[in-house]
Amino acid sequence: MSEIKKVVLAYSGGLDTSVIVRWLQDTYNCEVVTFTADLGQGEEVEPARAKAEALGVKEIYIEDLREEFVRDYVFPMFRANTIYEGEYLLGTSIARPLIAKRLVEIAKATGADAISHGATGKGNDQVRFELGAYALMPGVKVIAPWREWDLNSREKLLTYCEERNIPVEKKKGKSPYSMDANLLHISYEGMVLEDTWAEAEEDMWRWSVAPEKAPDKATYIELTYERGDIVAIDGQRMKAHEVLAYLNKVGGANGIGRVDIVENRYVGMKSRGCYETPGGTIMLRAHRAIESITLDREVAHLKDSLMPRYAEVIYNGYWWSPERRALQALIDDTQTYVNGVVRLKLYKGNVEVVGRKSDDSLFDEKIATFEEDQGAYNQKDAEGFIKLNALRLRIAASKGRKL
């Protein structure tokens, strides 16, 4: 263990990572550098500085990464209409590659020879952090305390704090759930949710009202797209993180974005979680709407066929992989003409598309009309088209095959 001289820790300032700081110091006799990221989790990150200082940390990094997070990670993911197992908008998954990147960059800048994180040995996050770190810094040493120590309960962690005079902040009204939050979502696991038959408690939710308690009057918004990304809301241009923050607020107020799912973790187990993703739910619906008038049919279908694979790549932690880069290049190329405006109606948990327009629209009213098309489309052409496509079916039937 003596070869570890300096470790960069992904540090939240909470109980687990505060214990990890002291545990690293005690176990490896090393210097600890802390890195705290503001990804829009809704809590102040600056208090982490004082907590780290109290633990003897000399090098402390606290960074506002909200714009980079949404611009370079969330938006590219939504260009693909990405959703895992039909329901999960990958709020936790998409944050991990950015954290891994900054851990490695800080390790290089400070001369550290190891990184560390507070992910448990049961979950997906350990995989995501470490795959990212190894891809960006192949020789880095990764220390995952939850896979090494025997402090496997809250009681043991608190005893460890008491024995080593580690201050523990006791927050009133602190949620009993295991939670993760950033600008894209907030997740809840554990407690009553471990019973798949039990309904989630209403007071668990933080970002949204219950749909039945949402306003009786609908909210209309217009989203402007350029190359597949939202650049303005109701005509007002915004930065990427401002777009998502606004959509979270208006979506949550209208009861949008709650899901209760059982997902298949990469490590093999099933896990039940509840997620609030108001802005992401709106973004997914709107992006498909603008693509519906701007994308070629076969390109749209190709994207849809690739999306589950792309979602798995992100969920399983392979953002920094050649296959994700290849998929992203294709996805981004398809967004060249995904420009225009989508009008949405938000009402009691629902996101309805009520209008879409684009200068790059492939929708041709002269061809699509049910009225007189003035020769734009020869309906007799359909007869040969149908017969050619039926040829293999007719041959099989004529040979006596049962279909």
On the 0-12 / 13-18 / 19+ scale of CB atoms within 10 A, 52 is buried
Judged against a pLDDT cut of 70, whether residue 174 lies above it is answered with no
What confidence category does residue 368 fall into, taking pLDDT thresholds of 50, 70 and 90? confident
pLDDT, average across residues 200-204: 94
Mean pLDDT value across the chain? 94
- What pLDDT is stored for residue 297 in this prediction? 97
The single-letter code of the amino acid at 157 is: L
pLDDT, average across residues 370-386: 81
Residue holding tokens 């260009």? Answer: 79
Judged against a pLDDT cut of 90, whether residue 170 lies above it is answered with no
- What pLDDT is stored for residue 2 in this prediction? 47
- What pLDDT is stored for residue 377 in this prediction? 78
pLDDT, average across residues 154-181: 79
Judged against a pLDDT cut of 80, whether residue 336 lies above it is answered with yes
pLDDT, average across residues 139-157: 90
Judged against a pLDDT cut of 60, whether residue 221 lies above it is answered with yes
| Distance of alpha carbon 215 from alpha carbon 233, whole angstroms | 21
Active-site position among 125, 180, 187, 258: 125
Told to judge if 22 belongs to the known catalytic residues of this protein, a careful annotator would answer: no
| Distance of alpha carbon 378 from alpha carbon 47, whole angstroms | 70
pLDDT, average across residues 314-340: 98
Active-site position among 22, 66, 79, 96: 96
| Distance of alpha carbon 176 from alpha carbon 377, whole angstroms | 63
Told to judge if 16 belongs to the known catalytic residues of this protein, a careful annotator would answer: yes
Active-site position among 113, 175, 178, 265: 178
| Distance of alpha carbon 230 from alpha carbon 338, whole angstroms | 10
Q: What is the pLDDT of residues 45-76, one digit of tens each?
A: 988 999 999 999 999 999 999 999 999 999 99
The single-letter code of the amino acid at 49 is: R
What confidence category does residue 108 fall into, taking pLDDT thresholds of 50, 70 and 90? very high
- What pLDDT is stored for residue 171 in this prediction? 57
Q: Determine the longest span between alpha carbons in the chain, in angstroms.
A: 86
- What pLDDT is stored for residue 175 in this prediction? 62
Q: Which CATH number fits domain 6-65+94-163: 3.40.50.300, 3.30.460.80, 3.40.50.620, 3.30.1490.150?
A: 3.40.50.620
Judged against a pLDDT cut of 70, whether residue 222 lies above it is answered with yes
pLDDT, average across residues 266-294: 97
Task: Check for a shared fold between 6-65+94-163 and 178-295+337-357.
Answer: no
- What pLDDT is stored for residue 390 in this prediction? 94
162-166, 271-275, 361-365: least confidently modelled range: 162-166
178-181 and 141-143: which strand pairing?
unpaired
pLDDT, average across residues 197-205: 95
Q: Which CATH number fits domain 178-295+337-357: 3.50.50.60, 3.90.1260.10, 3.40.640.10, 3.40.50.1100?
A: 3.90.1260.10
Judged against a pLDDT cut of 70, whether residue 1 lies above it is answered with no
Told to judge if 178 belongs to the known catalytic residues of this protein, a careful annotator would answer: yes
Claim: this prediction has a pTM higher than 0.75: yes
- What pLDDT is stored for residue 373 in this prediction? 64
- What pLDDT is stored for residue 103 in this prediction? 98
3-state secondary structure of 33: strand
Judged against a pLDDT cut of 60, whether residue 132 lies above it is answered with yes
- What pLDDT is stored for residue 258 in this prediction? 98
Judged against a pLDDT cut of 60, whether residue 172 lies above it is answered with no
- What pLDDT is stored for residue 366 in this prediction? 81
Told to judge if 125 belongs to the known catalytic residues of this protein, a careful annotator would answer: yes
- What pLDDT is stored for residue 206 in this prediction? 95
Q: Where are the domains of the chain?
A: 6-65+94-163, 178-295+337-357, 371-397
Q: What is the pLDDT of residues 232-251, one digit of tens each?
A: 999 999 999 999 999 999 99
pLDDT, average across residues 310-333: 98
What confidence category does residue 139 fall into, taking pLDDT thresholds of 50, 70 and 90? very high
Q: Structure tokens of 89?
A: 């908008």
- What pLDDT is stored for residue 158 in this prediction? 87
Q: For the chain, first and last CA: distance in Å?
A: 68
Residue holding tokens 């448990």? Answer: 120
